[in-house]
Amino acid sequence: MKGNKILVVDFGGQYARMIARRIRDLGVYAEVVTNDFEISKFAKEDVIGIIFSGGPASTIAEDAPMIDPEIFKIEKPILGICYGMQLIAKFLPGGGVKPSDKKEFGRAQLELLDKDDKLFSVLDYFTVDNKLSVWMSHGDSVVELPTGFKKLASTENTPIAAFGSSELSIYGVQFHPEVEHTTGGKELLKRFVFAICDAEKNWTLEEIVDEKVAEIRNLVQEDSNVVLGLSGGVDSSVAAALIDKAIGSRLHCIFVDHGLLRYKESEQVQKYFSENFSINLHAVDAVDRFLEELKGVTDPEEKRKIIGHEFIKVFEDKAIEIDGVTHLAQGTIYSDVIESGDSKNSVTIKSHHNVGGLPDEMELKLLEPLRDLFKDEVREIGSLLGLPDELVWRQPFPGPGLGIRIIGDITAEKLDILRKADYIFREELSKSDVADKVWQSFAVLPDIKSVGVMGDERTYGYPIILRAVSSIDAMTADWVRIPGETLDLISRRIVNEVEKVNRVAYDITSKPPATIEWE
């Protein structure tokens, strides 16, 4: 994309790739690079703007990831987000950063201080009483403006929540415009890309599909076959459709029933793909095998890794029966990679079974065509490839399945309890007025019991925790406001119909600070 590239410098934040995704949404090519990227490449004519991402470190720390200060001399527009804003203040004369007296995580009310600024004027449209809701996640704050910069916005706890220099075309925002929960965030990025960087639209999802298909054909030789772990979820299904487009009948999909699936899900997945797709589908019953490996395991990271390792073993065992298999394909998407700590500056939030659970040595080569794409992008590609809406818009379901929705050790009895409660919750929620707002809904079985009373007798049973969130890309999420009467019906059904359950609770925590899943 000559003369029309936005670079996103990754400082280890969860959202570096999401920033690039948002820019690509605008029809402009964005590329993610590490903070030690060769500075001369920044000065190339095809780079028209630079975005510094957030990050988990503190710019005050001695070992914090830095940037070559020469970047401020190449006269390209720069937007610093969160850690990136603090980095600008640290490097430019006059700026200063200190630990915040009050940290901010989640929603905050942003007050605009300069509605005429070239970048920030776009946000005025979204304000109510000169304020709008933004998403914060920081422990340090900018306390001194760089020389020549103006303060553009503030919050109750952060006096300098945004600054900028229209002359230098350098801006910093403490909040995250790239996440769905920042009002007007997309418009702010759009303004930076087109009004500040003077970009042109020339990037489409169709190009991504063509690029991925060519990439797969290049990686998989004509006499080779590929096995793919098909769960029936969006990610693995789109990966299957993409690989099928590239190599056709040389793709063999393996569906593993590991005993950690939802109510009747094994039968439904096999029936759906057998009737609607002309692929080589191999079903493997590995219930006893997985439960034996997971017996007595309570640590969530160990669970995920055991499940990941066992998946690979099952795939390799099955692949032996298929001639010429050289690659194992997975539906790994970028939110999986981010939370598993992919960047050299990032931290691990939780290992995803198809990322953190992979063994160091594998007999098969790994093929992950969706690894750099987010959930919403994957859904759009699924539609482009002709997958039906009922599959493309299916709720996400984690690879480790119910194994990470049972807190503590996993047993057949607990799986049966959770399956029934989860089914009731999702069934009733699908009939409610908020069904179209739900990105993901599920039940959790914690490793505790509580006292209850049924039929005038004392009980000592499990509680069930319900979780329903709204999201676009799984990087941020908010809890769904389920009507009280719906929650009441769900609670009564679960307690009455599921043995050994005597209490129901509803999780009303956003992401961040929580994750969507409990483990």
Query: What CATH number did the domain enclosing 162 receive?
Result: 3.40.50.880
For residue 37, pLDDT beyond 60: yes
Which structural domain, as residue segments, surrounds residue 132? 5-196
For residue 12, pLDDT beyond 50: yes
Domain boundary (144, 163, 196) is at: 196
Domain boundary (363, 392, 421) is at: 392
Average the pLDDT over 330-334 and give the result: 85
Active site residue 176: yes
- Report d(CA 170, CA 184) in Å as an integer: 19
Residues 418 and 299 in one domain: no
Average the pLDDT over 140-165 and give the result: 93
Active site residue 353: no
**Residue 234 annotated as binding site:** yes
**Residue 471 annotated as binding site:** no
The answer to whether residue 226 is domain-embedded is yes
The answer to whether residue 139 is domain-embedded is yes
Total number of domains in the chain: 3
Average pLDDT over all residues of the chain: 88
For residue 262, pLDDT beyond 50: yes
Find the Cα–Cα–Cα–Cα dihedral 90, 94, 98, 100, rounded to 10°. Answer: -110
Work out the pLDDT band at 145, boundaries 50, 70, 90.
Answer: very high
List Cβ neighbours of 169 (8 Å cut-off, separation of 6 or more).
Answer: 76, 77, 78, 196
The answer to whether residue 514 is domain-embedded is no
Q: Give the per-residue pLDDT at 219.
A: 94
Residue type at position 166: S
The answer to whether residue 76 is domain-embedded is yes
Query: Which pTM value belongs to this model?
Result: 0.65
Q: Give the per-residue pLDDT at 502.
A: 94
Residues 209 and 228 in one domain: yes
Residues 192 and 209 in one domain: no
Residues 426 and 356 in one domain: no
Residues 191 and 211 in one domain: no
Residues 294 and 368 in one domain: yes
The answer to whether residue 400 is domain-embedded is no
CATH number at residue 492: 3.30.300.10
Residues 220 and 357 in one domain: yes
Work out the pLDDT band at 340, boundaries 50, 70, 90.
Answer: low
Out of 226-230, 403-407, 423-427, least confident range: 226-230
Domain boundary (142, 167, 196) is at: 196
Q: Which helix (H) or strand (E) holds 48?
A: strand 47-52
Q: Considering the candidates 178, 265, 368, 377, report the single residue annotated as catalytic.
A: 178
- Tens digit of each residue's pLDDT (9 = 90 or more) over 390-413: 788 888 788 889 999 999 999 999
For residue 119, pLDDT beyond 80: yes
Closest CA to 47 of 68, 67, 29, 22: 29
Closest CA to 55 of 10, 7, 106, 12: 12
**Residue 233 annotated as binding site:** yes
Average the pLDDT over 226-247 and give the result: 91
- Report d(CA 307, CA 199) in Å as an integer: 45
For residue 45, pLDDT beyond 80: no
What is residue 457's three-state secondary structure? strand
The tokens of 353 are what? Answer: 């079974």
Angstrom CA distances, 271 to 231, 276, 444, stand at 12, 9, 27
**Residue 231 annotated as binding site:** yes
Work out the pLDDT band at 104, boundaries 50, 70, 90.
Answer: confident
- Tens digit of each residue's pLDDT (9 = 90 or more) over 69-90: 989 988 899 999 999 999 999 9
Active site residue 167: no
Q: Considering the candidates 138, 176, 327, 352, report the single residue annotated as catalytic.
A: 176
The answer to whether residue 252 is domain-embedded is yes
For residue 342, pLDDT beyond 70: no
**Residue 232 annotated as binding site:** yes
Residues 154 and 230 in one domain: no
**Residue 121 annotated as binding site:** no
The answer to whether residue 458 is domain-embedded is yes
Residues 158 and 13 in one domain: yes
Residues 14 and 59 in one domain: yes
The percent of residues in the chain predicted with pLDDT above 90, rounded, is 56
Residues 226 and 272 in one domain: yes
Secondary structure of 99-123 as H, E, C letters? EEEEEEEEEEEEEECCCCCCCHHHH
Q: Is the preceding omega at residue 512 within 30 degrees of 0, hence cis?
A: yes
Q: Give the per-residue pLDDT at 335.
A: 66
CATH number at residue 313: 3.40.50.620
For residue 348, pLDDT beyond 60: no
Residues 37 and 128 in one domain: yes
The answer to whether residue 323 is domain-embedded is yes
Q: Considering the candidates 82, 265, 380, 517, report the single residue annotated as catalytic.
A: 82
- Report d(CA 384, CA 392) in Å as an integer: 10
Average the pLDDT over 109-122 and give the result: 91
Average the pLDDT over 349-373 and give the result: 65
